[in-house]
Chain A
């Protein structure tokens, strides 16, 4: 099964989506097609022997311009739009001024020559607007004539008919002119489109793709370094990462140490340090001196690539609520045209002089339908916000379902705790017969040879070697480390290895000549933000259950500290049982898991979340990917999903109410065309600004300020 990403630059609306859907429907071997009009993308899941070029041809045949992926960033398109908008704006200022004079003249009387002069001047300013600024609408409408209706049809119809009637009336010197309505309508429509494009562009900025990686990396060879294209670098190649450059590929540090800004990946702006032997990920930024890595993955297998693929699948697939809005919008255009025609015919019977204005007003008042913007705008904004927080949705419905969540199941280790054990206390079992400090120092040195989290806890607890020399150090895998000191054999490791009675887990023993001497207990401390995050979830009405394989009393203490439910000594599979039990009680359950054994529970959950470090299988099953291990991200996710739902509802309610009141008013002739243009654009812009609220909140401003401060400090210090 392959996934082809096809970029269709002229896919704007639900109608286009429908047409492409039909064009692709007949092809064998297609498993699914996902559409994302916001990013102008079509994702096709097809069997390996389907030729992507054939898919392109089908889409081209349907009258679109299609190309295989490489998403266009829209820079030129946005400039073009800005120019059209600016020209329309300049012209509108003039035409509105003349219009006020003309309206005044209509009431108070005005010399015929002055009236004609003002009308011709309006015409002069209106021409570039119709010919240049409104051109995209005409082009869209012309295309629609070949392929079926879209929103550009009523727009083009309204602009052209109003302009032509005004032109005829200007030349004949009698009758109404609508230049003001034409320019204002065009300007406001372009404004709405511009705001919409801006929202999408911000989303693109917050998102990343492989395109964000540098093109080349410095490959270290026997005769120095040479830049090589990323795609040509195999796993296992030594690569040098310069200061201030991005890490080009996933790898392990082999020389030097790294100070990394991982915010592109995790959304976390605090810089992290990575030692030799630790992993670094492509796309993160090297803020410290250069270091060398050995790549562990090719370009297509990097973590950022797999996340980008999952994320683009979610963006290409439409959430249920957006599909509903699409269906309404698809019926909406023919409905508007029909209503305009009926209005015109009806007024012909009553008062023919009013027929054109009323029909025009109906066309104007309904475009471009806040209804069809209401959801996509909000969802795009929400995704942008989530992305900034290091949260990636891999399934678009997850955002909506997330809002209903009222129970969460989380791991203890690594989620609530840091998963970096530290020494808790030391118990001496017998008198060792030599200075304890020397023994502890020897323990620390021995443990430096073992590569185990518990060993790391001890070696960090006793970093000082106190001038001790150890001999014949030997690592026994799965048991411990042994060495000779002062003619005595020292062993550090698990109970059996040290001949100590087996006891609770997370204990390390020290033995001298096969006699256990000391016991070290190790704990996994709570994350600094765990309590705040749990409080946040509770505040959202979400009951948190902690599931752990650890002993009962350890879990109980932790659970009591956080005031949450817990299930201790659990086999990993029981997560599924707990999920099912909660669901049976009527809860909507969120499961956060990172292991392969969590997959059944993740699949059963209403919304499943995982972290960046989990395996590819788990990542591909989860609905939500938390790029930072912060539990706080979950709180953020719940908050954003609920706000999104609220905003979508507000938008839909407003759009429905607006259309239901404005259209009858317009049809009955209670509305001038310019009022209709204001109402139409006002409601679209209102809907989009409402959606844009998701991008910012007071807390965001605060966070950004903090992030800025933390980013600036090291550089500022360098300058001092």
Chain B
């Protein structure tokens, strides 16, 4: 089971990356307003590509 000595540190590393990515995503507002943007395509308010 010597391979564990290699695989477990790798898993530590990968989870570390995932954790940092998650913190970044939360801090940059990726999880705010999950519903609204789905309706954006239906919004004809002026000022965007409609003009």
Contacts and interface: CB of A to CB of B under 8 A. Distances in A.
Contacts of A86: 19, 22-23, 26
B26 A715 contact: no
Contacts of A75: 32
21 contacts: A82-B26, A83-B22, A83-B23, A83-B26, A83-B27, A86-B23, A86-B26, A87-B19, A87-B22, A90-B19, A91-B15, A94-B11, A111-B1, A114-B1, A117-B5, A118-B4, A121-B11, A124-B12, A715-B43, A715-B44, A718-B44
B43 to A, nearest CB: 7
What 6 A-B pairs have minimum CB-CB distances, sorted nearest first? A86-B22, A121-B8, A719-B44, A83-B26, A114-B1, A715-B44
Contacts of B12: 121, 124-125
Contacts of B1: 111, 114
A244 interface: yes
Interface residues of B, number: 19
B17 to A, nearest CB: 10
Given A79-B27, A87-B22, A114-B1, A712 B42 contact: yes
B4 A716 contact: no
A117 B19 CA distance: 22
Contacts of A79: 26-27, 31
The majority secondary structure among interface residues of chain B is helix
Contacts of A121: 8, 11-12
Interface of A: 75, 79, 82-83, 86-87, 90-91, 94, 111, 114, 117-118, 121, 124-125, 128, 244, 712, 715-716, 718-719
Interface string B15-50: 100110011001100011000000000111100000
Chain A binding surface, main DSSP class = helix
A433 B15 CA distance: 97
Contacts, number: 48
B38 to A, nearest CB: 12
Nearest to A113: B1
Contacts of A718: 44
Nearest to B27: A79
B25 to A, nearest CB: 9
Contacts of B18: 90
A111 B2 CA distance: 11
B3 to A, nearest CB: 11
Contacts of B22: 83, 86-87, 90
Contacts of B42: 712, 715-716
B4 A117 contact: yes
Contacts of A712: 42
A716 B1 CA distance: 64
Contacts of A128: 19
